[in-house]
Amino acid sequence: MTHRIHPSILNANLASLDAEIRRIPSADAIHVDVMDNHFVPNLTLGLPVVECLRANHPGTFLDAHLMIENADAHAPAYAEAGCESVTFHLEASQAPIRTARQIRSLGARASLGLRPQTPIEPLADLITEFDMILIMTVDPGFGGQAFLDVMLPKIRRTRAIVEASGQEIWIQVDGGVSEATIERCVDAGADVFVAGSAVFRAEDPDAMVRGLKAMAGARCGGH
């Protein structure tokens, strides 16, 4: 299993994003949190900033995480802007399959995000409509929160559903991922890890990215 580290720029210096991204060349992607102060109680950045990031970092995999209301109307625009992966939340979508198919038709990976309290089981028959499932391991909205261990069984159930589908669907975890928690996430079946404060508050952010990836790989290799 390939493990991917997607540092979240929510915890970076937002006034110097280009420089911050250059500090983490070992990252597999840049995780871009888009918040509208409605779906979550925080306001971050939107489509114009994403378009600038795409233009300034043409070779970088952009992983957009939309924590916004009315996701069906807005998510395709992030695929059009050149994001390689677009995550929208089930709780903010009235037509998740249609929206996922729109995102895929625009050449991006379609990903579905779930708040901690949203179960995975109702999605079992629909799982192949998505390229990734994002399991929030904190309540979405703010960086730096403590990892919720109670989400580990949900990650395991998601892995079982993905395995049963026979498709290669990534399982991403977001929230409190660090050296102290990544091994538990690997054990539960996650393979894509969003790390924000653990990376950007480290003395050497890129060394932290490499370290987290090494820990994930070693943990998986030991099973």
Catalytic residue set: 33, 174
> CA geometry: angle at 167 spanning 184 and 67, to 5°?
60
CA distances from 154 to 83, 87, 94, 95, 98 (A): 27, 18, 23, 23, 25
The position carrying tokens 């580290």 is 5
Closest CA to 102 of 130, 125, 124: 130
19 Cβ neighbours under 8 A, 6+ residues apart: 13
The two three-digit tokens of residue 63, written as one number: 């992983």
CA gap 205, 216 in Å, rounded: 17
Q: At what angle do helices 47-56 and 71-80 cross, to 10 degrees?
A: 20
